Each structure stands twice: as C-alpha cells, then as structure tokens.
C-alpha cells in the first residue's frame, strides 16, 4: 500500500522496459564517464586483449550492461565454484558483492587474484553481523550454558570473518539453495542452531521445510544485552536467529501479494526465502535465484508470474520469457543498491587496468581467517546429498 493507503499498481515487465537510469559513481583513478558511447567497445577490446587470463563472473542481480560481459552467470555459490574451477585464470573479475568475492578468494589458489570492480559493492545484510558482535553473542551463549549444544549455521551472505567463526565452532555455511540440508545436518550435531545473519531464511527453512515450530525460534538482537533474551529463553530455544535481514527482500509485503492476487487472476507468486515469513507463507513457490529462474523457464507459455526478488533479475526474466507475463511484486522496492554499484564504467576500469598491468581492487582474505572459513565452506560441500541444490 502507498502512504495514503491506496494499493500500488503492479509493474509488468517486458522487452524494452527501462526502469532505472540513476548512476552513483565514485571511484578513485580514471573511471570512464557513464555517458562514454565507446564503453561497450572498450569492454570488448579489453576482454579480448586479456583472453583466457581473465574470467568474469556475474551474479544474477547484476545490471544487464555488466551481465553482457560475464563469462558465467549464477548465484553466489555457483559463482564461487566456477571461480575455483578456473585455476588457469590469474584474474577473476567478480561482478557481485564483497562477500561473494571473498568466498571466491578463499576457494581459489594463491596465484589467482579476485577483483571487485567497485569496493563499495557490499551487502547490508552481511554488515548486520560484525565479528565482535558474533563473538560477544557466543560468550552470552556460553554464559547461558547453551554454547556446547549450539551449532552455528551461517548464510553465504556474511563476511569471511563470520565464516571463519563458523568453521572454528564446528558449523557450516549454507546458501538459500541448501539451507534445509544444512539445518538438518546441524540438528544431528547439536540440539540448537545459531543462524547467522538472515533471520528470515533461518525461520522460513526451520518452520516451513523442517516442520519446526515458530515457538522454538528466538531472535538475538546484537544491540541489546544478551541479545534481549533471558537465560530461560535461550535454553528453551532451538533456533537462535540473528537479527539480520536483506534490505531488499525484507521490504516485500503481504499487501503486495494480496494486491497481485486481486489484480491478476490466476497469478503465481514466487519469492526468495529472504522474504518475511508471512510473505513466504502466501506465495505459491519459494526459492533461491537459481530456482526462480528454472521455475519460470519451465512454466508453460501464458503463465502469469509475480516475482519477489531483486529487480534486475525480474526485469531480465520478463525479457527472456516474453511469452509469459512477469511482474515485479512491489513497485516501491528498488534494485539492490550495492549490487548496482558495479556498472560498465567500473568494469571497463578494472579490465583496462589489467591490460595496463595494474590490478585494481584486489580482494584478499587474511590467511588465518581463510583457513577456518574454508573449513566451514568445505563442510557445506560435504553435506549429505549434494553441495548445491535449487
Ligand atoms: P543467491 O544465494 O541466490 O545468490 O542470493 C544472494 C543474495 O544476495 C540474495 O539476496
Ligand atoms: Fe545483500 Fe540483499 Fe543485496 Fe542480496 S539483495 S546483496 S542480501 S542487500
């Protein structure tokens, strides 16, 4: 609903839709102007000059202008695996956000360098769990006498330091694709899980996929003493959810789903599990970015979709499947602003710098941190079944 209470019109996406022209570029050095008409040509020329020495990865939420130059596209986990599978490329240019580039650095060899074209491409969710806060929270769990039985399960959307914490405490990383498998594994190791940093993915997976109860879940607020919880609450809880969320997916509302159902008869609502529990409960389908793409791709012509995930991806779905009707779930939700930091000028700058023999914006995880973070990532790869499902 709008501030005045009237329902928001749905945004139907299709070929030629141009929704956003805003640019916020700030970068040291000789960044090309966004208006430079030669940018596409310059990116092509730089890539051609670098040949197999560079490998460009593009996350599904990236702009079209960037995706055009990606050697492979995917979700965060697929891209990390792709980076690891390219040992011959000395330079991996990661068009995504900081935590993804860190994971790629952890999983690639010392001879390879991962480059993030704009260092301002962070993730607000990952920033909601700082390592000192998480260490303090663990001390609280020790004090409450529950740390021994608690297994940390950390979403990929987290800093390398939090991944290392997870590795040190015998936990695992998960993605939105394999959170169910990761949680099942964790509950075989201990009776409680500390889920970091996305409360929604943790809650949705525990309640909807493992059949757990909402009453077993507590939210640990790092800004309050003892997370704002009593010792009794910590002792009774099975899922201790970190108070973090995605600033994009957390904004989709029940109202938007109800409006879609009212305005588009027969519509199918598909959302990412980072959305709030109430929103996910009302959806027809829930899934990671890879699953959303595959589900829409497999649907018969004429299917009407309303999609609750990042706008660049939804916009592309509308372009790729013009025989289906793809709409964005909520008009007042914008692009992920940090994903959008990577634009063609930054990509050209990173590539042309490499051509000139300069490595800009390398992402290097400290070796001690990387060692334990790798343990947590390896635990994810060793989860029963397979390492990565949609
Ligand atoms: P994926 O794990 O699907 O790549 O999602 C990453 C992300 O940032 C979702 O908001
Ligand atoms: Fe982070 Fe959300 Fe952006 Fe994904 S969409 S990178 S979780 S802020």
> CATH number for the domain including 98?
3.40.50.10800
Residue 2 within any structural domain of the chain = no
Q: Is residue 5 part of a domain?
A: no
Are residues 158 and 240 located together in one domain of the fold? yes
Among the listed residues 134, 210, 123, 189, the one whose alpha carbon sits nearest the alpha carbon of residue 166: 134
Say if residue 157 is in the same domain as residue 240: yes
- My answer on whether 109 and 162 are in the same domain is no
Q: What percent of the chain has pLDDT over 70?
A: 91
Of residues 382 and 386, the one with the higher pLDDT is 382
- Does any domain span residue 207? yes
Residue position matching structure tokens 């490329």: 89
Task: Indicate whether 387 belongs to any domain.
Answer: no
Cβ of residue 175 lying under 6 Å from some atom of ligand 1: yes
Q: What range defines the domain where residue 91 resides? A: 37-122+340-359
**118 lies in the same domain as 221:** no
179 with 211, same domain: the answer is: yes
With a pLDDT cut of 90, the percent of the chain lying above it is 83
Does the C-beta of 343 come closer than 6 Å to ligand 1?
no
What's the rounded mean pLDDT across residues 334-341?
94
Q: Is residue 30's pLDDT more than 90?
A: no
Instruction: Decide if pLDDT at 235 tops 90.
Output: yes
367-380: average pLDDT: 95
Tell me how far apart the alpha carbons of residues 169 and 137 are, in angstroms, rounded to a whole number: 13
Q: Using pLDDT thresholds of 50, 70 and 90, give the confidence band for residue 28.
A: low
CB 69 within 8 A of CB 379: no
Please report which confidence band the pLDDT of residue 24 belongs to, taking 50, 70 and 90 as the band edges: very low
Residues 172 and 211 both lie in one domain: yes
Cis upstream peptide for 197 (omega within 30°): yes
User: Is the pLDDT score of 356 beyond 80?
Assistant: yes
Confidence check: pLDDT of 307 > 60: yes
CA of 272 from ligand 1 middle (Å) equals: 9
pLDDT by residue (tens digit) across 47-62? 999 999 999 999 999 9
Q: Is residue 1 part of a domain?
A: no
Q: Which bound ligand lies closest to the C-alpha atom of 341?
A: 2
Residue 331 — pLDDT band, cuts 50, 70, 90?
confident
Domain membership of residue 151 (yes or no) is yes
Whole-prediction pTM? 0.90
Expressed in angstroms, the distance from the first to the final Cα of the chain is 32
Tell me if 264 is assigned to some domain.
yes
Residue 20 CA to residue 343 CA, distance in Å, equals 13
pLDDT for res 19: 32
**238 and 150, same structural domain?**
yes
**What pLDDT is recorded for position 148?**
98
What 295-300 contacts at long range (C-beta under 8 Å, 24+ apart), as own/partner pairs, is 295/270, 296/270, 296/321, 296/324, 296/326, 297/321, 299/268, 299/324
Instruction: Tell me if 75 CB under 6 Å of ligand 1.
Output: yes
Same domain, 187 and 292: no
Average pLDDT, the chain: 91
Residues 110 and 138 in one domain: no
pLDDT value at residue 21:
31
What's the Cα-to-Cα distance from 60 to each of 95, 121, 238, 291, 364, rounded to whole Å?
10, 15, 33, 12, 23
124, pLDDT greater than 80? yes
Residue 253 and residue 163 share a domain: no
Mean pLDDT within 24-31: 57
The pLDDT assigned to 349 comes to 97
16's CB contacts (< 8 A; 6+ apart) are none
User: Which pLDDT score, from 0 to 100, does residue 37 have?
Assistant: 86
Residues 6+ apart with CB under 8 A from 346: 25, 27, 31, 117, 118
The answer to whether position 162 is within a domain reads yes
Does one domain contain both 85 and 117? yes
- Residues 375, 234 share a domain: yes
C-alpha 88 to ligand 1 mean position (Å): 27
Adjacent-strand bridge partners of 74? 59
pLDDT at 23: 35
The tally of domains found in the chain comes to 3
Are 253 and 279 within 8 A, CB to CB?
Answer: yes
- Does 14 have pLDDT greater than 90? no
Does the beta carbon of 157 sit less than 6 angstroms from any atom of ligand 2?
yes
Closest ligand to C-alpha of residue 290 is 1
User: HEC string of 106-162?
Assistant: HHCCCCCEEECCCCCCCCHHHHCCCHHHHHHHHHHHHHCCCHHHEEEEEECCCCHHH
- Rounded CA-CA distance 289/62 in Å is 12
Ligand at minimal distance from the CA of 292 is: 1
pLDDT (0 to 100) of residue 50: 98
* Three-class SS state of 44: helix
What helix, strand, coil percent values describe the chain, rounded to 5? Answer: 45, 15, 40
Instruction: Give me the residues paired with residue 150 across strands.
Output: 192
pLDDT greater than 70 at residue 63:
yes
Ligand 2, atom 3: closest residue by C-alpha:
336
Angle in degrees, 0-180, between the axes of helices 367-381 and 98-107, rounded to the nearest 10: 90
- For ligand 1, atom 1, name the residue with the nearest CA: 75
What are the residues whose beta carbons fall under 8 Å from the beta carbon of 139, sequence distance 6 or more?
A: none
Element (H, E) at 362: strand 362-363
Closest C-alpha to 245, from 276, 214, 222, 218: 276
């Amino acid at each position: 609903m709008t501030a005045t209470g009237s329902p928001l019109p749905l945004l139907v996406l299709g070929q030629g839709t141009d929704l956003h022209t805003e640019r916020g570029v700030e970068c040291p050095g000789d960044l090309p102007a966004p208006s430079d008409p030669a940018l596409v040509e310059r990116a092509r020329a730089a890539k051609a000059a670098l040949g197999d020495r560079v490998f460009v990865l593009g996350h599904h939420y990236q702009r079209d202008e960037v995706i055009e130059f990606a050697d492979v596209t995917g979700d965060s986990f697929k891209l990390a695996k792709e980076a690891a599978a390219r040992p011959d490329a000395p330079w991996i240019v990661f068009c995504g956000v900081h935590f993804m580039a860190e994971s790629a650095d952890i999983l690639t060899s010392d001879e390879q360098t991962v480059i993030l074209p704009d260092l301002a491409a962070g993730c607000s969710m990952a920033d909601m769990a700082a390592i000192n806060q998480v260490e303090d929270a663990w001390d609280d769990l020790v004090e409450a006498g529950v740390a021994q039985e608690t297994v940390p399960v950390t979403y990929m959307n987290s800093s390398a330091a939090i991944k290392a914490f997870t590795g040190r405490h015998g936990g695992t990383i998960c993605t939105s694709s394999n959170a169910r498998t990761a949680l099942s594994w964790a509950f075989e190791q201990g009776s409680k899980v500390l889920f970091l940093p996305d409360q929604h993915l943790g809650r949705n997976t525990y309640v909807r996929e493992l059949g757990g109860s909402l009453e077993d879940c507590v939210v640990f607020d790092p800004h309050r003493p003892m997370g704002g919880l009593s010792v009794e609450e910590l002792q009774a809880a099975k899922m201790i959810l970190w108070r973090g969320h995605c600033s994009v997916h957390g904004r989709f509302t029940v109202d938007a789903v109800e409006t879609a159902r009212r305005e588009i008869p027969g519509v199918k609502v598909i959302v990412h599990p980072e959305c709030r529990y109430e929103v996910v409960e009302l959806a027809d389908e829930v899934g990671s970015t890879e699953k959303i793409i595959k589900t829409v791709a497999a649907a018969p012509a004429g299917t009407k979709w309303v999609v609750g995930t990042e706008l660049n991806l939804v916009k592309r779905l509308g372009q790729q499947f013009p025989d289906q009707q793809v709409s964005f779930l909520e008009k007042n939700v914008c692009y992920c602003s940090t994903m959008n930091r990577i634009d063609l000028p930054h990509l050209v700058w990173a590539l042309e710098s490499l051509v000139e023999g300069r490595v800009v914006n390398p992402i290097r995880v400290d070796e001690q941190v990387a060692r334990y973070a790798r343990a947590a990532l390896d635990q994810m790869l060793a989860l029963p079944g397979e390492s990565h499902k949609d």
